[in-house]
């Protein structure tokens, strides 16, 4: 098959390294109690977002659930803005008011960061409707976990997308678990991809530990959608090395299972492929890794030195029309006295 011009693989490896080093720093800062609230790490799943970015354009719409750090970084949101958001600082990508689960970067077409499982899937259908209505050739990338596929909104969105031939790719990041519940215990189907058939949507499967496979399958799907708008579904089989969130010791799975996936690490695999083909030297890899580590560390300093959002902003951005302090006070018996 003729592939369109693709993004440089070394650049994509460097993105995967940046995501991993950023999250390792985030994990450390969480343990040091510099970061509050929930924090879900993507470590192990990096080839999924890198493959998707390699197959798409910067102006394609992107939306995801709460395990969203990688998706923003991949779209080019700075490590500074991402780390500051985790620290709840005004310089964060959601002004410090969203935290880990609510990254947002409208300029880069990254529309969240959504904490309610499955709730953003209908939004993705709406985004795809908008681009079709405007006759744009954008594709909407909608990422969600294996836990989202049994939510009502998921079914409603797939039905509408199938019916209206919306240009959206439903990307299920099947990492085998929804919190501590394994997919065999939550889902009646043996293969998640079979869900797509019920909505007359074409289904694909890709190995999420293999960057090239994710990129190539998605490239094929994206090209066919651009020619003739329609939805597609892809189940990407992946694995998260860490627990569900920072507070999960992941005692529901075996060490052997974790080890098996770590042996198939997506970064190590792409590095080996590129090295074998003479496209990357060990020195180049080390330099890239050092840069990723330095950038992640610098983002911690940036976040620490940034100011917190002013208290008066506490209720802003909840509603469309800016400051809604009065409204909140009227509706609440225990609103703070300001």
Ligand X SMILES: Cc1ncc(C[n+]2csc(CCOP(=O)(O)OP(=O)(O)O)c2C)c(N)n1
Nearer to ligand X, 92 or 243 (CB): 243
Stretch that binds ligand X, among 89-97, 127-135, 170-178, 259-267 (CB under 6 A): 170-178
Is the peptide bond preceding residue 244 cis, with omega within 30 degrees of 0? no
- Alpha carbon of 239 to those of 176, 208, 272: distances in Å? 7, 8, 20
Nearer to Mg ion, 142 or 292 (CB): 142
175 binding Mg ion? (CB under 5 A) = yes
Decide if 219 contacts 3 (C-beta within 8 A): yes
Q: What is the pattern of x (binds Mg ion, CB under 5 A) and - over residues 103-142?
A: ----------------------------------------
Selected binder of ligand X within 81, 148, 196, 300 (CB under 6 A) = 148
Q: How far is the CB of 111 from ligand X (least distance, A)?
A: 18
Helix 282-305 vs helix 79-86: angle between axes, to the nearest 10 degrees? 50
Taking CB under 5 A as the binding criterion, the range among 8-16, 132-140, 176-184, 241-249 that sits at the site for Mg ion is 176-184
Long-range CB pairs of 286-289 (<8 Å, 24+ gap) are: 288/10, 288/13, 288/14, 288/17, 289/17, 289/21
Q: Is 104 helix (H, G, I), strand (E, B) or coil?
A: coil
Asked if residue 15 binds ligand X (CB under 6 A), the reply is no
Does residue 272 bind ligand X (CB under 6 A)? no
Find the binder of ligand X among 115, 164, 314, 328 (CB under 6 A).
115
Q: How far apart are CA 236 and CA 220, in angstroms?
A: 15
Residue 114 near ligand X by CB under 6 A? no
Contact indicator for 165, 231 with CB cutoff of 8 Å: yes
Written as six digits, the tokens of 72 are: 């923003």
- Contacts with ligand X in 181-200 (CB under 6 A)? none
Nearer to ligand X by Cβ, of 250 and 327: the residue is 250
The nearer residue to ligand X, 122 or 145, going by C-beta atoms, is: 145
What is the rounded CA–CA span in Å between residue 156 and residue 146? 17
> H or E stretch including 258?
helix 255-262
- The mark string for 319-338 relative to Mg ion (x by CB under 5 A, - otherwise) is --------------------
Spatial neighbors of 260 by CB under 8 A, at least 6 apart, are none
Residue 146 in the binding site for Mg ion (CB under 5 A): yes
Give the interface size with Mg ion as a residue count (CB under 5 A): 4
Residues that bind ligand X (CB under 6 A): 67, 115-117, 145-148, 175, 177-179, 244
């Amino acid at each position: 098959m003729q592939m369109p011009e693709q993004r440089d693989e070394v650049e994509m490896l460097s993105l995967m390294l940046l995501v991993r080093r950023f999250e390792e720093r985030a994990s450390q800062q969480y343990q040091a109690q510099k970061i509050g609230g929930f924090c879900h790490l993507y470590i192990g799943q990096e080839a999924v977002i890198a493959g998707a970015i390699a197959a798409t354009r910067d102006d394609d719409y992107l939306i995801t659930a709460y395990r969203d750090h990688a998706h923003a970084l991949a779209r080019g949101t700075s490590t500074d803005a991402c780390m500051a958001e985790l620290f709840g600082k005004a310089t964060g990508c959601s002004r410090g008011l969203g935290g880990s689960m609510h990254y947002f970067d409208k300029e880069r077409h990254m529309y969240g960061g959504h904490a309610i499982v499955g709730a953003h899937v209908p939004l993705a259908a709406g985004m795809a409707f908008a681009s079709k209505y405007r006759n744009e050739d954008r594709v909407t990338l909608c990422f969600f976990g294996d836990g989202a596929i049994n939510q009502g909104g998921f079914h409603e969105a797939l039905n509408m997308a199938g019916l209206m031939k919306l240009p959206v790719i439903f990307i299920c990041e099947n990492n085998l678990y929804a919190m501590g519940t394994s997919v065999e215990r939550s889902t009646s189907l043996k293969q998640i991809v079979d869900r797509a058939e019920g909505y007359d949507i074409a289904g694909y499967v890709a190995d999420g530990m293999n960057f090239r496979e994710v990129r190539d399958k998605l490239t094929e799907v994206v090209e066919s959608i651009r020619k003739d708008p329609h939805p597609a579904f892809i189940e990407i089989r992946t694995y998260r090395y860490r627990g569900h969130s920072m507070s999960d010791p992941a005692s529901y799975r075996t060490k052997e299972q974790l080890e098996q996936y770590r042996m198939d690490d997506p970064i190590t695999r792409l590095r080996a492929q590129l090295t074998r083909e003479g496209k990357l030297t060990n020195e180049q890899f080390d330099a890239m890794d050092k840069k990723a580590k330095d950038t992640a560390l610098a983002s911690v300093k940036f976040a620490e030195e940034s100011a917190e959002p002013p208290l008066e902003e506490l209720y802003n951005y909840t509603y469309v029309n800016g400051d809604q302090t009065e409204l909140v006070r009227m509706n609440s018996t225990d609103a703070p006295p300001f």
